[in-house]
A and B are shown apart, each in its own frame.
Chain A
């Protein structure tokens, strides 16, 4: 599939039309994500066709950084809006955390942009985000869901974004091997994990992931929310490491406290592919392609 054809498909895909249901959109995104990943195109491209040629150079490292930048755009805007929303008022630990995280995500955006430019690539532009995911959530209490529910969703979405970020960076490490970007990417990766741990604990759940995300609740009971959460944590319950099933193939020299399977899944975070990260993030991305094929 040519890059142009792929881009055309992206911008004309049903998933980007506002009329399709978000649930349908989410499942469609999964299949689209596969195509995108196979062509090694970061999804941020969809917002700016003209810049496609600038960095579509069969360079997996550049693609990895573009994906990372798009995820950082999402996080940076989310935390900025969260702090502006007033929803955190009265929750000092959360307020402190969001301020610190917001500072880091802004720094990551600047760092990745500079890195891409330094490598001669044009950084993708920020997509347009919709943190309600088409009305499924109301984290900033813009639509009157109420402070308490908005606060719960604000934390749950932050957790999903951070845990996704951890998984996405991990999944891109291989693409950055042998480049000067590997170490800084790892240094961002562990910061995202610190963020995830703190957000989870503010929610009252453990800082680490049990099974396929079993120890933390989705941001809402809707099917959209449940499906999205399932996608964020799919595969986290893996117990195979280095060819060994750590629940059966090892005799531990010290006794494990509580459930071994839970502990094993907590002890290792699992990567996701660019395709998976794209599918998750795209739930919150508004395509600007409707009737607008200009350069953005």
Chain B
């Protein structure tokens, strides 16, 4: 069984290269601290990586990889609607993995029943989303074009601590909402657009529920920090931004070099 080597390239729009070393930003995997209200993290890697179409001769590596991979080609999410589906699948994998861990932690164990019920539901929904995407992408594009099962490092989250769990859940759900909202205009097939719509509103329901566990007052379920009070619009985020935010938890590397651009530029 080949180990998938996957990298998240968050600079899809940057094609400038230095002469000797194509130095691209990669998301640093693992070891992410949840500090304050952001888990956005960009890391840099000296590693050479060539997305499809660009051929370079790599310079000899002075420190040989102790665990050489026979197939170093990272999985790319792909282009067109399949790319967007894989992108969504990555996020759903992360959410499902997170809630699986939540339900195994001490916070959940000692939580009041109404909070347990919420986490049971969120776990269920994300597992269903995840496994649905897997089946749907395989059916549409074949197994080779379907994002492999990702591995995660959630060691930065204290699953015994209510605040750590809730803050992370909020960030994941708000990020999910923003990701789907920002992806809609990149989808070509109306069926997939509707499917994304069926899921994003459930993510928004989750986000509101989690936010009200954090603070049930002051309209925090749709707070001014996430819904622009001037126009009443929720967040919409670009894939590069979302992958940077989510990538800190993802240890499997993959690229997102061919995702479609917005159709209307909105």
Q: Give me the interface of A with B, judged by CB distance under 8 Å.
A: 92-93, 96-97, 99-101, 103-108, 110-111, 166, 169-170, 173-174, 177-180, 182-184, 186-198, 201, 206-208, 241-244, 246, 249-254, 256-258, 263-264, 266-271
In B211-230, which residues have CB < 8 Å from any A CB? 212, 216-219, 221-223, 227, 229-230
Interface size band for B: 35 or more
Are B232 and A188 touching (Cβ within 8 A)?
yes
**Bound-complex Cα distance A252 to B135 (A):** 10
Q: Min CB distance, A138 to chain B, in Å?
A: 26
Q: Is the CB of A191 within 8 A of B194?
A: no
Question: Which chain A positions have C-beta within 8 A of B74?
Answer: none
Report which B residues bind A (CB closer than 8 A): 96, 100, 117-118, 120-121, 123-125, 127-132, 135-136, 139, 177, 180-182, 184-185, 187, 190-191, 193-195, 197-209, 212, 216-219, 221-223, 227, 229-236, 262-266
Choose among B130, B136, B184 the residue that contacts A186 (Cβ–Cβ < 8 A).
Answer: B184
Most chain B beta carbons < 10 A, residue from A187, A243, A258:
A187
Contact B181 A197 (CB under 8 A): no
With A190-B181, A208-B125 already in contact, the answer to whether A103 and B229 are too (CB < 8 A) is yes
Q: Is the CB of B208 within 8 A of A197?
A: yes
Which residues does chain A contribute within 8 Å of B209, judged by CB atoms? 197, 201, 207
Interface SS of chain B: helix
CB pair A190 B201 closer than 8 Å: yes
Q: Is the CB of A269 within 8 A of B198?
A: yes
Contact of B233 among A97, A100, A184 (CB under 8 A): A184
Cβ-Cβ contact count across A and B, 8 Å cutoff: 216
Tell me if B200 and A186 are in contact (CB < 8 A): yes
For the complex, would chain A's binding face be called helix, strand, loop or mixed by DSSP majority? helix
With a CB–CB cut-off of 8 A, which chain B residues contact A266? 121, 124-125, 202
Taking a contact as CB atoms under 8 Å apart, the answer to whether B205 and A193 are in contact is yes
Q: List 13 A-B contacts (CB under 8 A).
A: A173-B197, A190-B234, A191-B232, A191-B234, A198-B221, A201-B209, A208-B125, A241-B132, A250-B131, A252-B131, A253-B127, A257-B120, A271-B194
Residue numbers in B under 8 Å from A166 (CB-CB):
201
The residue that A174 contacts in the complex, of B100, B130, B193, B233, with Cβ under 8 A, is: B193
Q: Is the CB of A193 within 8 A of B132?
A: no
Measured CB to CB, the nearest residue on chain A to B223 is A100
Tell me whether A111 and B199 are in contact in the complex, defined as CB-CB below 8 angstroms, given that A193-B205, A197-B208 are known contacts: no
